[in-house]
Amino acid sequence: DTAVSQTPKYLVTQMGNDKSIKCEQNLGHDTMYWYKQDSKKFLKIMFSYNNKELIINETVPNRFSPKSPDKAHLNLHINSLELGDSAVYFCASSHYETGGAYEQYFGPGTRLTVT
């Protein structure tokens, strides 16, 4: 069974559209994350979220919003898509435990192409 899954794997859309990427984890983790990997393979944290708090990277435009219907899911909504949003988006999850290693397990990624 896939531990962290994302849908869709590929997403091609036009500028100005609104889209969502879904993420689900079956590891029983309580913290989930979204990362963006650009064309140069640079990875940046966008959000981290558990049932207590949402931490947002201040560089993320407010067109991006995470939504968590339950602990196993963290979806990413993107409004008014721009060309610069083209990237691979990775979801990850970990278990929050004081003093723990917070090993993060990553999904396979969603390649978003904005035309």
Q: Which residues of the shown chain bind another protein in the complex (CB under 8 A)?
A: 31, 33, 35, 40-48, 50, 53, 55, 57, 90, 92, 94, 96, 101-109
What is the SS3 assignment for 85? helix
Whether a cis peptide bond, with omega within 30° of 0, leads into 61 is no
Nearer residue to another protein within complex by CB, 58 or 70: 58
Nearer residue to another protein within complex by CB, 14 or 41: 41
Nearer residue to another protein within complex by CB, 18 or 103: 103
Nearest distance, CB of residue 62 and another protein, angstroms:
18
Q: How far is CA 11 from the centre of its chain?
A: 14
Nearest distance, CB of residue 27 and another protein, angstroms:
12
Nearer residue to another protein within complex by CB, 31 or 114: 31
Query: Cα–Cα–Cα angle for 95, 101, 1, nearest 5°?
Result: 45
Nearest distance, CB of residue 24 and another protein, angstroms:
14
What is the SS3 assignment for 84? helix
Nearest distance, CB of residue 111 and another protein, angstroms:
9
Question: In 3D, which of 23, 33, 18 has the Cα closest to residue 3?
Answer: 23
DSSP 24: E
Residues recorded for the chain: 115
